[in-house]
């Protein structure tokens, strides 16, 4: 059962205070997704606003089968992907045959703080960052990512593998600095 159903129902009836409550409940989490995927504060703010406008306009389509947060997150992620596609940023081209399953290497345990990780993720190329975000943070499968981005599943896996490797390199560089 959706815990905010009473607020959603009030929104459907045009209650402006309910719109504000729903925005206040979800805006921070949705902005985090936008910022992580788009790597640009202004674009993230724009997509956040556009996503809420779209959600409010289409609230009649929310069936309650999934949580409102999940429904809204899909709108946000789709809007982010649309912006990325509009930017014309292609994923780093690779051949699927280049994909090699990652071998488990013995890594020494290093502790990083959230700010360092966030900074390193923002330093990734768009294609790497988007796939890493969708896979790690949004729990999309490689099949789902491939469908959303119009790429092959192998390309998604390869991009994720390379993104993860690059992220580890960026974190190691950060760790070496005095």
Domains parsed from the chain with CATH numbers: 5-86 (1.10.1740.10), 96-176 (1.10.10.10)
**Which of 104, 100, 121, 138 lies closest to 36, judged by CA?**
121
For residue 97, the 8-state DSSP code is: G
SS3 helix, strand, coil % of the chain, rounded to 5?
70, 0, 30
Give me the tens of pLDDT residue by residue for the chain, a chain 178 residues long. 788 899 999 999 999 999 999 999 999 999 999 999 999 999 999 999 999 999 999 999 998 888 999 999 999 999 999 998 887 655 544 444 444 444 344 445 556 677 878 888 888 888 899 999 999 889 999 999 999 888 999 999 999 999 999 988 888 887 776 5
């Amino acid at each position: 059962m959706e815990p905010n159903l009473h607020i959603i129902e009030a929104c459907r009836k045009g209650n402006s205070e309910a719109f504000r409550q729903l925005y206040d409940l979800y805006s921070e989490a949705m902005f985090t997704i936008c910022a992580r995927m788009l790597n640009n504060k202004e674009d993230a703010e724009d997509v956040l606003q556009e996503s809420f406008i779209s959600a409010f306009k289409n609230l009649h389509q929310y069936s309650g089968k999934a949580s409102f947060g999940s429904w809204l997150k899909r709108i946000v992620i789709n809007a982010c992907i649309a912006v990325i596609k509009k930017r014309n940023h292609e994923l780093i081209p690779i051949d699927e045959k280049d994909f090699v399953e990652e071998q488990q290497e013995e890594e020494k345990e290093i502790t990083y703080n959230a700010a360092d990780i966030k900074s390193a993720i923002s330093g990734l190329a768009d294609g790497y960052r988007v796939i890493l975000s969708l896979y790690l943070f949004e729990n999309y499968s490689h099949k789902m990512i491939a469908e959303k981005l119009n790429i092959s599943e192998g390309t998604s896996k390869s991009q994720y593998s390379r993104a993860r490797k690059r992220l580890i390199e960026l974190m190691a560089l950060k760790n070496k600095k005095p």
